[in-house]
């Protein structure tokens, strides 16, 4: 099963990709050595905005990773957006990761909360409560509610979220994007068992990060 209604290069990057390539071509045609750094910049921009399709696991009662990156937190804590004790799993995306955000499970968007804030390194724990962020509460078919939080990072200055309250999202569906390094936190009910460990590298949609126990 695949969900992929968009090009291999993220639409959010088309302007930057075209601009960097045009500048590289112009400068290289004038002087190769002058244009070489801009060729490398263009290559970086293209790889940053790549957005490959992913195979979506079909197992029931699973939570998929909403982002590419590295697991930096797996711990019980308070979900401040719902006011409940939860299992928190945090994923750090560096500038070499794919930056599309995808829905971790089938569910209805119950609430969206945008909070302006700082732009400290997204690898720091305080980024979860101090940085600019956008929280989505998703109501699942079994009655569980999960929270997925897009968090801006040190370089990231734009969080994009394309869904709205009342929308139904399917697992693996692309719903947002964060530019240039960031973080995603996901809060799950305590009856979910983590399937990842700190330091593990994962990919959005295709990797399972938690399963419902029982």
Residue-wise pLDDT tens digits, 101-134: 999 999 999 999 998 877 666 666 776 777 888 9
Tell whether 165 and 206 lie within a shared domain: yes
Query: Is residue 55 domain-resident?
Result: no
pLDDT score of 53 more than 90: no
Tell whether 96 and 184 lie within a shared domain: yes
Query: Is residue 80 domain-resident?
Result: yes
Q: What is the mean pLDDT of residues 199-207?
A: 94
Query: Is residue 57 domain-resident?
Result: no
State which H helix or E strand residue 202 sits in.
strand 201-202
Q: Domain holding 125: CATH number?
A: 2.70.70.10
Query: Is residue 172 domain-resident?
Result: yes
Confidence of residue 200 (pLDDT cuts 50, 70, 90): very high
Tell whether 145 and 208 lie within a shared domain: yes
**Active-site residue, from 65, 86, 100, 182:** 182
pLDDT score of 190 more than 80: yes
Query: Is residue 120 domain-resident?
Result: yes
Tell whether 26 and 87 lie within a shared domain: no
Confidence of residue 9 (pLDDT cuts 50, 70, 90): confident
Tell whether 95 and 15 lie within a shared domain: no
Query: CA-CA distance, 152 to 180, in Å (whole number)?
Result: 9
Tell whether 142 and 196 lie within a shared domain: yes
Query: CA-CA distance, 28 to 42, in Å (whole number)?
Result: 12
Q: What is the mean pLDDT of residues 26-40?
A: 90
pLDDT at 1: 39
Owning domain of residue 69: 62-212
In 3D space, the residue among 105, 83, 99 whose CA is nearest the CA of residue 45 turns out to be 99
Q: 107: which residues sit within 8 A by CB, 6+ positions away?
A: 138, 139, 140, 141, 146, 168, 169
What count of other Cβ atoms lies within 10 Å of the Cβ of residue 157?
Answer: 13
Tell whether 164 and 208 lie within a shared domain: yes
Tell whether 72 and 26 lie within a shared domain: no
pLDDT score of 67 more than 90: yes
Residue 167 bears catalytic tag: no
Confidence of residue 3 (pLDDT cuts 50, 70, 90): very low
Per the structure, how many domains does the chain have? 2
- Pairing label, strands 201-202, 69-79: antiparallel
Confidence of residue 78 (pLDDT cuts 50, 70, 90): very high
* Percentage of the residues of the chain whose pLDDT score is greater than 90: 58
Tell whether 29 and 104 lie within a shared domain: no
pLDDT at 132: 86
Tell whether 126 and 163 lie within a shared domain: yes
Confidence of residue 157 (pLDDT cuts 50, 70, 90): low
Query: Is residue 56 domain-resident?
Result: no
Query: Is residue 5 domain-resident?
Result: no
Write down the number of H helices and E strands in the chain.
Answer: 3, 14
Tell whether 76 and 136 lie within a shared domain: yes
Greatest alpha-carbon pair distance for the chain in Å reads 66
Tell whether 83 and 160 lie within a shared domain: yes
Query: Is residue 125 domain-resident?
Result: yes
Q: 32: which residues sit within 8 A by CB, 6+ positions away?
A: none
Average pLDDT over the chain reads 88
pLDDT at 189: 96
State pTM to two decimals.
0.85
């Amino acid at each position: 099963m695949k969900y992929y209604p968009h090009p291999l290069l993220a639409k959010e990057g088309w302007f930057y990709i075209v601009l960097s390539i045009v500048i590289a071509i112009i400068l290289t045609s004038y002087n190769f050595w002058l244009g070489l750094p801009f060729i490398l910049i263009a290559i970086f921009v293209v790889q940053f905005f790549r957005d490959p399709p992913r195979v979506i696991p079909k197992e029931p009662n699973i939570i998929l990773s909403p982002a590419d990156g590295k697991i930096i937190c797996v711990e019980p804590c308070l979900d401040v957006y719902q006011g409940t004790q939860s299992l928190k799993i945090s994923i750090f995306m560096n500038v070499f990761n794919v930056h599309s955000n995808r829905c971790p499970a089938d569910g209805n968007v119950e609430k969206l909360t945008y909070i302006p804030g700082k732009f400290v390194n997204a690898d720091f724990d305080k980024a979860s409560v101090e940085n600019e962020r956008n929280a989505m509460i998703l109501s699942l078919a079994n009655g569980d509610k999960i929270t997925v939080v897009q968090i801006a990072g040190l370089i990231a200055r734009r969080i994009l979220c394309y869904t709205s309250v009342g929308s139904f999202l399917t697992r693996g569906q692309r719903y947002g994007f964060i530019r240039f390094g960031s973080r995603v936190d996901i809060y799950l009910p305590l009856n979910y068992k983590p399937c990842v460990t700190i330091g593990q590298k994962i990919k959005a949609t295709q990797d399972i990060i938690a399963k419902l126990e029982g």
